Structure 1
Amino acid sequence: MTPQKEDYLKAIMELGGDKQLVNNKQIGQALSVSAASVTEMSAKLLKDGLISHIPYQGVQITEKGQLVANKLIRKHRLWEVFLSEKLDFNWDEVHDEAELLEHVSSDKLIDSLDAYLGFPKYDPHGGVIPDKDGRIEVSDSRPLIELEAGSRFVIREVDDDQEFLAYLLGKGVKLSVPYLLMEVEPYEGPLTFETHDHQSYQISFKAAGKIYVQ
């Protein structure tokens, strides 16, 4: 399995390809590659039985492909935990480093890393870490934009996007902190929420769509 194939499978998985069809444009944007490159790689993954394909609609990852993708996601997220907890990287700095490390890490190394870190369940962005067999728990979080003013919530996961994470870091927004949603301005306006000690935060509607809460 080449690193390039692994990256495509991981991208399809993270785009929801285990539950729905994902089109070439989505994959291309996620990996910053051309449509022609996506078409070429999709043909290889289809031949290997790692994805299924419906013409003019998109691809969906197979059970075989899910296991490969989840094992790579496990490596990636464990390295993110290590970089964050042991080397004090900010959460917007860990992704690119983990991308490099995930492809050169044996299963034995990752199992040892998992034990060393105390078998963490989540990465620094709240993403669930698959187990060593490639199984992953289903999250029951939902987007912040679905809540109404007056709702109490805790942020469980945010999109693993460097620019977005830097935006949240600048705002001071954190995971696992209880918040109260104070106001949702109409016509996709900003959302305002606060902590129990009345520390107030305001984020854009677009940003709220990338935050998942309980």
Structure 2
Amino acid sequence: MNITRSQEDYLKIIWHLQEEQKKATAKAVADNLQVKSPTALSMFRLLVKCGQISYNKTDGARLTESGENTARKLVRKHRLIETFLETIFDMDGQNVHDEAEKLEHVISDQLMHRIDAYLGFPEKDPHGSEIPAWDKAMQRINLSTVQLNDSFSINELNLQNDEKKYYQKSDLTVTSVWTMIEIPPGSECYLIGNGKRFLAIPDRVAENILVTLRK
């Protein structure tokens, strides 16, 4: 079932409230969207039927897995668009937000992927807010937070040029897949492997390497 722009706006507000660990009550959502509570309740019922949220008076609205994915992609688009408009067109403030509000509903995923790559895969928008991954399972994390025996792919090496070249020559390149082999006591160094070789990564370096866990 296709989600309308109005439904997307509701899902995005619920997502924000959940991120702030607040209850997404009908009143809270209505206040954010500047509508009446009965209007919000009516939309809640529709979103429940669509499988996007669950709802009861005690807990308020909660995003389902489908609803969270929809909202996450919308928030991601919004923040990437804001970043693009400020970076390329030097727009700022309310103008950036207002334009992103319009474009987030119509811009394609393919174009957003290209914008993301063009901007160098930014982690935060101009306001300092984190730009979420397309999928929660694809969220980028620091190598230093990977658990023992977890496999991961390399997303970004935020290292000095000489240091980056050293690790790239050791096959630690973007999209390469590795596994956490050993985490010594104190976590001063991490041992990772790719089936062909092992690499010892100091904690200082691991904190500057972004990875995505693989299922």
d(CA) in 1 for partners of 2:97, 2:5: 16
Other-structure match for 2:121: 119
3-state SS in 2 of match to 1:60? strand
d(CA) in 2 for partners of 1:60, 1:21: 8
d(CA) in 1 for partners of 2:138, 2:15: 12
Q: Structure 1 residue 88 and structure 2 residue 95: aligned?
A: no
Deviation at 1:18, TM superposition (A): 8.6
Change (3 A) 1:136 1:130: farther
**Among residues 105, 111, 122, which one is paired with 1:103 in the alignment?**
105
d(CA) in 2 for partners of 1:109, 1:97: 16
Other-structure match for 1:62: 64
Other-structure match for 2:7: 5
3-state SS in 2 of match to 1:89? coil
Task: Tell whether the 8 Å contact from 1:50 to 1:62 is kept in structure 2 after alignment.
Answer: yes
Task: Tell whether the 8 Å contact from 1:70 to 1:130 is kept in structure 2 after alignment.
Answer: yes
3-state SS in 1 of match to 2:129? coil
d(CA) in 2 for partners of 1:33, 1:10: 15
What does 1:43-58 align with in structure 2 at a 5 Å threshold?
Answer: 43-55=45-57, 57-58=59-60
Name the TM-score, length of structure 1 as normaliser.
Answer: 0.60
d(CA) in 2 for partners of 1:4, 1:129: 22
Which amino acid is the alignment partner of residue 8 of structure 1? Y
3-state SS in 1 of match to 2:94? coil
Moved over 2 A (4+): 17-21, 132-138
Deviation at 1:92, TM superposition (A): 3.4
What does 1:1-214 align with in structure 2 at a 5 Å threshold?
Answer: 1-16=3-18, 21-55=23-57, 57-134=59-136
d(CA) in 2 for partners of 1:7, 1:135: 23
3-state SS in 2 of match to 1:92? helix
Aligned-pair identity in percent equals 43
Change (3 A) 1:136 1:36: farther
Other-structure match for 2:200: none
Q: Which has the larger radius of gyration?
A: 2
Deviation at 1:47, TM superposition (A): 0.9
The superposition leaves residues 46-65 of structure 1 with CA deviations (integer Å, 9 ceiling, x where unpaired) of: 11121111135511112221
3-state SS in 2 of match to 1:121? coil
Name the TM-score, length of structure 2 as normaliser.
Answer: 0.59
3-state SS in 1 of match to 2:93? coil
